[in-house]
Every structure is written in structure tokens, then in C-alpha cells.
Chains A and B, each alone.
Chain A
Amino acid sequence: MNHPTPQHPNPSDPSRTGPSQPGLLLPDPELTLRLLAQLPPPDGLADRVHRRLQAAPLPASFWSQWMPMRRLQFAGAAAVVLALGFSSWTIYENRQHATHAPAAAQSPAPQSPAAQPTSGLTPAGAERHPASLKPIKVPPVPKKKPSAAKSRAAKPTPNPPPN
């Protein structure tokens, strides 16, 4: 190491005596640290640092490469935030509609054949009638009169008359 040697103060110089040892003809202990702190750097240090920095790859983030200007970066971030907010609001609104009008959403109004767009295919007069429109009619079970049944159960049946 090539440290030039600055002028060293005389250790027996009373003016250099530290406050902690007023009577002793010894240098201030902090003088050692001060001399250490004053050691000059080696020659060519700055040039070597410059060279090292030139050789070092410049750390560039993805965002700084894509959008080098900081304002553009902020604008991009704001656009992303706005898009996220708008989409989440849209989803929320759709859910609100779905909960308020479930019946309307579940059974859409049937379109008349005239209103439907012509696709070149015809149903050839066939019509489909869903089962909900033609409910199966189950005949009602004939009800027995409860009073007659009760009287029959209470009274013992008389013996049939002998033939």
C-alpha cells in the first residue's frame, strides 16, 4: 500500500495531550484514530472505481426498460389501477342485478318466430311444447266420506241374515 506519510505530531508535545490524561506527556488516544482516518487513499482509486462501474452491467428493471420515463410509469400504473377498479365495479353491478331479478334472468321471454333472425333453416312446422306448459293431469283420488267410514268401524257388522 502506498500511503503518503503526513506530518506526525510529536508524541511528547504537551499541546497534543488529551483531556483524559492532563498530567501525562502522551498524545491524545484519539490522535491515533485521527491519524488512521487521515491515511490517504491509494493512487488511482477513483479510476479503478470508474472502470469497475463501466464493467458492471447496468441494473435495469423491466419497467424502466419498457417505459423509461417515470411519468409514463406512473401513468401506466394509474391506468392498470383504473382498469382493475372498473372491472371489479362491473362485476359487482352484474351481481347486484342478478340478485334483484332472478326470475327475469332465469326465464327469458320467448321470441316470436317472426322476430327471430332467419338462418335459412325452418322448423317445418314442428313445435316443441315443454312439459311445464302441458302439465300431466293426475286424476284426483276419490275421497271417502269420513262419517260413513267411522260409523262402519264403530258398529259391529251384524250377522248376515241367514239365507
Chain B
Amino acid sequence: MSTCTVAAAAWGAAAGMEIPATSVREHHEPAAQAAQASSAAIAALVDQYAGTLYRVAYSVLRNSADAEDAVQETYLRVLRHRDSLEDIRDARVWLVRIVWNVVLDRKRRAKTRPETDDIADLARLLPAAGLSADDRVGAAQHHEAVLRAVTRLPEKEQRVLILSAFEELSSVEIAKVLGTTESTVRSRLFRARNLLSTLLSHSRSAR
């Protein structure tokens, strides 16, 4: 039995779906079946997209525990809308949009937290396999400079740039996540790239 099926069965039990052996059974059977179906659908969404949602959350929050919390909160919100799951056209974009809003809420609440240490830690955390020791140090310094420059970008450009790094998201899907148009996304991305290169060249010349 797959994880998804087990989880769906467990959810059914947790939801109190034991059907009594009386005439009430006929009345409640369609509801129980619908609840089980929605539980199975959510379990499938967890198995399929939890990783993607975690990466989206991590790219903004840059903290593993916070990102995992954001993913769990996202699925709890999905659970609240379990009756309308059939109406969702593109579940992936819908979920990314939910996790994006969750992440922005958390980011807004934790605005006072200093990010400088996080960025230095994160730059060291990024993969550097296959590089020599010197190259690793250089790569970490470069990553740190880029991440600091990204934090100095205007908020809208920063968001588009972060989402565009996800290869599984097209510009149309980014537009859906951000609630804007594709042309706006493209123009913001163009501006973000120009600003980023300017900021990086300034920091390089300052060194």
C-alpha cells in the first residue's frame, strides 16, 4: 500500500468516518465517500508537491524549520478547502500561490530578524561539490554577494527573480502566483536582472 493510500485511510479514521450499522448508514455514505476522496486527493498533493513547496518557502525564508512550518500550514489551508478541490485547475500553481502567501506573511511578521548571518550561512550551504578548496571559497563569496544584492532589490523585482529561479515555473505561472500579468512579470524580471548586475558591479568595484 502506498504512503498516499495509508495516509488517506488514516485521515478517514481521524475524521470520525466510522459508519454506524443502522439506517443512517445510507444517509451518510456519500458524505463519507466524498470526505475519503478529498483526503486521498490531499494526500496525493502532499506526496507530489511537498518538496516543491518546501523549496519555494526556503528560497524566501532561508530557514529549514520555518520553511517546513510554512509547508505544513499550506496543507492545513488546503484541508480547509477540501470540499472545493475538484474546482482547482492547476494544483501546482494553486499550492505555490498558497505557500507564497504563507511565506510572505511569516516574512512580514519576522521582519526584525537580522539577515546578514543567514546569508553568510546560506552561501556556505549552497552546493559546491566538484570544486577545489579555493574555488569553494570563491563560490561562497560570490553567492554571498549575490544574495546580499538580491535583498537590496525592490520587493516586486526581488519576488519575480526568486520565483523565476524555479525551473518548473513558467512566466505565466509566476504571473498567476503573484496575481499579475505575464508582461508585468517579464518587465519586472528584466529590471531585476539589470539592477542586480549593477549592484554586483558596484560591490566588485568597491572591493
Contact = CB atoms under 8 A, between A and B. Distances in A.
Contacts of B72: 48-49, 52-53
Given A20-B194, A35-B126, A68-B31, A29 B149 contact: yes
Q: How large is the interface on B (under 10, 10 to 19, 20 to 34, 35 or more residues)?
A: 35 or more
Question: For chain B, what secondary structure do more than half of its interface residues adopt (helix, strand, loop), or is it mixed?
Answer: helix
Contacts of A8: 126-131, 139
Interface string A3-27: 1011110111000001111000011
Contacts of A46: 3, 46-47, 50-51
A7 B131 CA distance: 9
Contacts of B11: 53-54
Interface in A23-55: 26-27, 29-30, 32-42, 45-50, 52-55
A113 B15 CA distance: 69
B147 A32 contact: yes
Q: How large is the interface on A (under 10, 10 to 19, 20 to 34, 35 or more residues)?
A: 35 or more
Contacts of B51: 40-41, 45-46
A52 B156 CA distance: 33
B79 to A, nearest CB: 6
Contacts, number: 154
B14 interface: yes
B160 to A, nearest CB: 11
A70 interface: yes
Interface of A: 1, 3, 5-8, 10-12, 18-21, 26-27, 29-30, 32-42, 45-50, 52-56, 58-59, 64, 68-70
23 contacts: A7-B127, A7-B130, A11-B142, A21-B197, A30-B165, A32-B143, A33-B165, A36-B147, A36-B165, A38-B55, A39-B58, A39-B125, A41-B50, A46-B46, A48-B72, A53-B7, A53-B11, A53-B75, A54-B10, A54-B14, A59-B79, A68-B30, A68-B35
